[in-house]
Amino acid sequence: MYFPYFQLGCVLEINAQRTAAYLNSLATCADGDFAGSHNMSCHCSPLYWSIPENSGTTYTVTNKALTTNIATLTTSKAHGFHVGDSVTIAGVDATFNGTYMLLTIPTTTTFTYTKVAANVVSVASGGSVYVPIQAVTYTDPITDQAPWYDADIPESGQFFGFLINDVVQNAVSSRSITTRISSSGGGVLGPVRNKERRYDFTVLMFGCNELAMEYGFRFLADALSSNGCEESCTTCDAEFRDSCPDTAGNPPLYDAMQKGRWILKDIAAVEGPTWEKAPVEGMACNVRMVKFSLVSENPWKYKCPVMECQDLPITGSAAWAVNCTNIVNILCEQAYAYCSVTEPLIIGETGLIISIKSGSVPLEHVDISIIPDKFGYEANPGSAPANYVSLDPCDRIQIPYIPANSTFVYDTSSESVSVTLPGGAVTDGSPYISTVEGTPPTFPTLRCGAFAIRVGVSECSVIGSPTVTIQSVHREI
């Protein structure tokens, strides 16, 4: 198996395109032993592109204005952009359309950028905005500020990184066999069990000289011992590409860039790194082979989350909102938010990340149901015929109470429940779930069908704009 790209956490990057580019232009080896270019090639064009945060999501523009060469656009929902982001605007008009770097973020739904043009009064608008895929060029470790480069250690600028020579993956799924004690013989097959996912890496390291190689090995050992995370006692995620997608277009489309890209969760080093024999005789100072092994506690490999429904409002009756203070909450009716999710793929399965954000008061009597929805009636109750009987949910959990200004997250893809409290602290969400009326979470995944996700809450607690966001996450063994 070969990976043209692998990244562990936010520290260790093994990028064939980066290392090949450095070896083809050894300007930083002027004082080293590795003279001349080496005509390395990695024809995996995705590695010449980076995928910024928010790529893949398009936001609708609802208003435009331009004052003193500063353009301001408003989106229909929170965009999550940052100052300095490059965004592409289309469908507004010739004045506003184009790709620009963001100047300021006045609110969660507005942003500004420099545009030299005549003033435009604030007016309703159409169009869209998104963060495009970013082009990347590789020059040398110093110019590019490579992940391993440290300005205080000169030899770090003469280390060129890694190329994966081989990756061996274990068999993740297995089935026990018990010999049948009978005259007919044979055996009895047990259920399929998914084990941990292990990868054994054989990697080439390149550097100008002995000092650079020694530094590179120390960098690798440190990155593996800390698992690529900020805290060495935790596991973290890794990203890898097992193939190179078609990247037609400039820049390529986000969906195309996702092909061949996978995420591993809860991964850490279990062995290595260890020095191996130099692959080229007489060049041990410049090329060395190392081995190490990583294990993911989670047997699945994942695609990046896909937004299905973002910031769905939970709206209740105005009359109930006024009168709730005078009655017992249990008498309140339920307010609902619905989202439809379809899983058409025949390989793998899809989990859900259901995020419920409370408003200025605690949400009470929260009910999450995942229901088969072949005809779309569950997600759109008003469209159901008069004699329609609602199907039983695949999964139903109840949360009696979500604190004010908090976010409850039910993630069936990684089988976890959490609550983010005011101030940002994240705590285990399992104690918030009640099994009196609902059931313990079964963390169902979707395969080949249409489903409705229904979130209900007591109307008496619908104060301060609570919302529901639902993402789907594809996974495979």
Residues 25, 90, single domain; the answer is no
Here the tokens at position 82 are 């940052």
Same domain for 277 and 145, yes or no, is yes
Residue 20: inside a domain, yes or no? yes
Q: What is the CATH number of the domain that holds 246?
A: 2.40.30.200
Integer-rounded Cα radius of gyration of the chain: 27
Q: Where residue 90 sits, what CATH number does that domain have?
A: 2.40.30.20
User: Is the backbone peptide bond immediately before 273 cis, with ω within 30 degrees of 0?
Assistant: yes
| Conformation bin of residue 38: beta by default, left when phi > 0, alpha when psi is -120 to 50 | alpha
Kindly tell me the burial class for residue 176, based on how many C-beta atoms sit within 10 Å of its own C-beta (0-12, 13-18, 19 or more). Answer: exposed
Distance between alpha carbon 90 and the CA centroid of its chain, in Å? 25
Q: Is residue 45 part of a domain?
A: no
Give the pLDDT score at 420: 95
Tokens of 196: 């941990």
Domain limit, last residue, from 252, 273, 302: 302
Q: Which of 285, 302, 319 is the last residue of a domain?
A: 302
Q: What is the pLDDT of residue 8?
A: 87
3-state SS class at 231: coil
Which residues are CB-contacts of 125 (< 8 A; sequence separation ≥ 6)?
Answer: 61, 62, 63, 64, 73, 92, 93, 96
Residues 424 and 311 grouped into a single domain: yes
Per 3-state DSSP, the chain is made up of helix, strand and coil in percentages (nearest 5) of 15, 45, 45
The predicted structure's pLDDT at residue 227: 61
What is the Cα–Cα distance from 199 to 240, expressed in whole angstroms?
A: 12
CA angle (354, 360, 364) in 5-degree steps: 55
- By CB neighbour count within 10 A (0-12 exposed, 13-18 middle, 19+ buried), where does 135 fall? exposed
Residue 146 has φ and ψ, to the nearest 5°, of: -55, 155
Q: CA nearest 360: which of 323, 397, 308, 321?
A: 321
C-alpha 109: how far from chain center: 22
Residue 144 lies in a domain: yes
Q: Domain tally for the chain?
A: 3
Question: Which residue blocks in 110-151 are alpha helix, DSSP H?
Answer: 141-144
| Cβ neighbourhood burial of 392 (10 Å; 0-12, 13-18, 19+) | exposed
- Residues 162 and 128 both lie in one domain: no
Please check whether residue 168 is in contact with residue 139, taking contact to mean a CB–CB distance below 8 angstroms.
no
Distance CA 339, CA 312 (A): 8
Same domain? For 18 and 122 the reply is no
106 and 121 in a single domain? The answer is: yes
Instruction: Confirm if 238 and 294 have CB atoms less than 8 A apart.
Output: yes
- Residue 46 counted as domain residue: no
* Same domain as 174, residue 128: no
113 and 191 in a common domain: no
pLDDT of residue 251: 64
Amino acid code (one letter) for 66: L
| In-domain check, residue 384 | yes
Separation between Cα atoms, residue 108 and residue 360, nearest integer Å: 18
Same domain? For 118 and 208 the reply is no
Are 367 and 285 in a shared domain?
no
pLDDT at 281: 66
Written as tens digits, the pLDDT of the chain (477 aa) is 778 888 888 778 888 888 888 888 776 675 556 655 555 666 666 676 777 666 677 889 999 999 999 999 999 888 888 888 888 999 999 999 999 999 999 988 999 999 999 999 999 999 999 887 777 888 889 999 999 999 999 999 999 999 898 999 988 888 888 888 877 788 889 888 889 999 999 999 999 888 999 999 999 999 998 765 555 455 678 989 888 777 666 666 677 777 888 999 989 899 999 998 777 666 667 888 999 999 999 899 999 888 888 888 887 654 444 444 444 444 567 888 888 888 776 788 889 999 999 988 899 889 999 888 888 888 888 888 888 888 888 888 889 989 999 999 999 998 899 999 998 899 999 989 887 665 677 888 888 678 899 998 988 888 888 899 999 999 998
* Residue 242 structural domain: 5-32+138-302
> How many Cβ atoms are within 10 Å of 477's Cβ, its own excluded?
14
CATH number of the domain to which 339 belongs: 2.60.120.860
Residues in CB range of 163: below 8 A, 6 or more apart: 14, 16, 19, 20, 203, 204, 206
Contacts of 240 (CB under 8 A, 6+ apart): 3, 5, 6, 7, 261, 262, 264
Q: Do 28 and 163 share a domain, yes or no?
A: yes
Q: What is the pTM (predicted TM-score) of this model?
A: 0.79
What's the one-letter identity of residue 319? A
420 assigned to some structural domain = yes
Amino acid at the residue 289: M
- Exposed, middle or buried by CB within 10 Å (0-12, 13-18, 19+), for 1? exposed
Strands, E assignment, 314-429: 334-343, 349-357, 363-372, 395-402, 407-411, 416-420, 426-428
The domain boundary, picked from 244, 274, 302, lies at: 302
Q: Are residues 178 and 252 in the same domain?
A: yes
In a domain? residue 47: no
- Whether 41 is covered by a domain: the verdict is no
C-alpha span between 19 and 265 (Å, rounded): 26
Determine the straight-line distance between the first and last CA of the chain, rounded to whole angstroms: 16
Residue 428 and residue 470 in contact, taking contact as beta carbons nearer than 8 Å: no
